[in-house]
A and B are shown apart, each in its own frame.
Chain A
Amino acid sequence: MNTNSYIKGFLSSGSSYWDRFWFTPFPERLSSIFRIVHGGALLAFLLAWWKNGSEWLSTAGFHTPNELTPPLDPSLLPIFGVFQFGLLILFIAGWQVRVMAGLSWLCFLYVTLVDRVSAYSINSIFLFSLAVFTLFPTKSKNASIPIAPVRLLQLAMVAIYFSSGWHKAVFGDWLDSPHVLEASIQGIYMTDFAAWALRTMPAFVWPITQYAVLAFELFSPVLFFSRQLRIYGIIAGCVFHLGIALFMDQLIYFSLQMMSFYILFLPQEIWKNLRASCAFQGSPSMILAKITKRSALL
């Protein structure tokens, strides 16, 4: 009898915790800002790649035979482009969000599968976020939505960071050799800026940066899920992704994609006060202190 009541109590408290975790109201405005910025990152990425659209998506370029999704006839490319960009722009604009997200997901799934050699993590992450926007309502008449889609996106971002860090530390060479980062930027990704940095920066900068990157990824759950530390996580993440964008060719789109997730971690008060000009008056240290204080309260 006691055991039964204990189990019932456990299940009941678990169920109420689940409900609180996934269904607490969340301001619709924040999810809309995320949709605009995240969708903008996808738009920028697609615009950059469409410069070589015929090689990428049509039979004008080489594609591996017997793929599930055949490449387009070159004459169909403009029509597909109109669909892809039109749907994405409507999604960003917030018109029929779930339908537009679903159709954009289908278009993006096609471009991901038709040329797998050009599809990377950025594709997988956009497919996930578009799936979230398709499956869950992110617009509401009463200005708040259940937090489930936001929680899923937050968990996804932290899962990517933490598992990447873990993999680097346990299965990779990041703890065994201090030259992994330096070697990574010297190859095919090396930009002019990276080449300049490799020529001019003192050698000790690279191991320090390497361990800082690893620490950021490994501590990402604490940095992003602790309200007190969240703002520092966002600042560190912005520096991390700015570095990636500067040092590694075309990874700016990945940086934009990942940084857009930070919007979902910002304290809601910041957005309320953003309109009020007084919110960001003062010295940078005062602003940081203000934001940190608000983060801790929320």
Chain B
Amino acid sequence: MRRTTSNIFILLLLIGWIIPVAYFGFTNGAPPWLPAFLIQRTNVSRLFYREQSGFWIYELSYRRENCINFEPFCEQDYFRMYPFGYRTRFQRFMSSSNPEVREAISLWIKNKLDADNGENPVREIRITRFAYLAKAEGKPTGHYRQPQSADLTKAVIHPIANFEY
């Protein structure tokens, strides 16, 4: 391998990855020279840096045609993957502040639920969230298990979105 080629590759990896990784850590921002597609891939130094006393847990419920009551959506029926930590992809998508993502996931869930029970299609989907404070729950008895809002006496439920079909 020619030394000039090696030098080009060295500079490429230094400027394109190693220096941006350090830059993110030192400045808390993205390097200005970095193309958009590399920003997420070099943002690896900003992990667990804040004291997080709690986080949001999202719940989805749906109402079928000719029904008055909402039924709770069981995440594990369609979201079985836990990408790091005991938290489904559903929760991670919902954590996104992008309303388009929430709308898309609601429509996807409606289609899945309709495929399982086409006679009573889903007409309305409601998304809510509540804050979970780990310390308020006392000493843990085992690994993290996602609580339901009904399990927590003091859970304040916040409506996030409502979709009618």
Contacts and interface: CB of A to CB of B under 8 A. Distances in A.
Contacts of A49: 81, 83
Contacts of B93: 62, 64, 117
A226 to B, nearest CB: 19
A172 B100 CA distance: 30
B21 interface: yes
Interface string B79-107: 11111111101101100100011001100
A188 B89 contact: no
Interface in B121-148: 134-135, 139-144, 146
A177 interface: yes
B85 A188 contact: yes
A177 B53 CA distance: 12
B3 A187 contact: no
B33 interface: no
Given A160-B44, A162-B25, A195-B140, A148 B6 contact: yes
Interface in A39-95: 49, 52, 55-56, 61-62, 64-65
A12 B79 CA distance: 60
Nearest to B96: A117
B18 A121 contact: no
B161 interface: no
Interface in B2-27: 3, 6-7, 9-10, 12-14, 17-19, 21-26
Contact of B85 (A127, A198, A249): A249
A167 interface: yes
Interface residues of B, number: 64
Given A152-B18, A180-B50, A191-B143, A118 B85 contact: no
Contacts of A156: 17-18, 21
Given A116-B40, A121-B44, A132-B13, A167 B52 contact: no
A189 B85 contact: yes
Contacts of A62: 78-79, 89-90, 93, 104-105, 108-109
A159 B141 contact: no
A146 interface: yes
A256 B86 CA distance: 20
B165 interface: no
B76 to A, nearest CB: 11
Interface in B28-52: 28, 40-52
Contacts of A123: 41
A52 B81 contact: yes
A136 B18 contact: no
A61 B75 CA distance: 12
Contacts of A191: 143
Contacts of B80: 52, 55
B163 interface: no
B70 interface: no
B13 A117 contact: no
Given A124-B42, A128-B13, A249 B92 contact: no
A173 B142 CA distance: 27
Contacts of B52: 183-184, 187
Interface of B: 1, 3, 6-7, 9-10, 12-14, 17-19, 21-26, 28, 40-53, 55, 78-87, 89-90, 92-93, 96, 100-101, 104-105, 108-109, 134-135, 139-144, 146
13 contacts: A52-B81, A56-B81, A117-B89, A136-B6, A152-B18, A163-B25, A164-B44, A177-B51, A179-B51, A183-B51, A187-B52, A192-B143, A198-B139
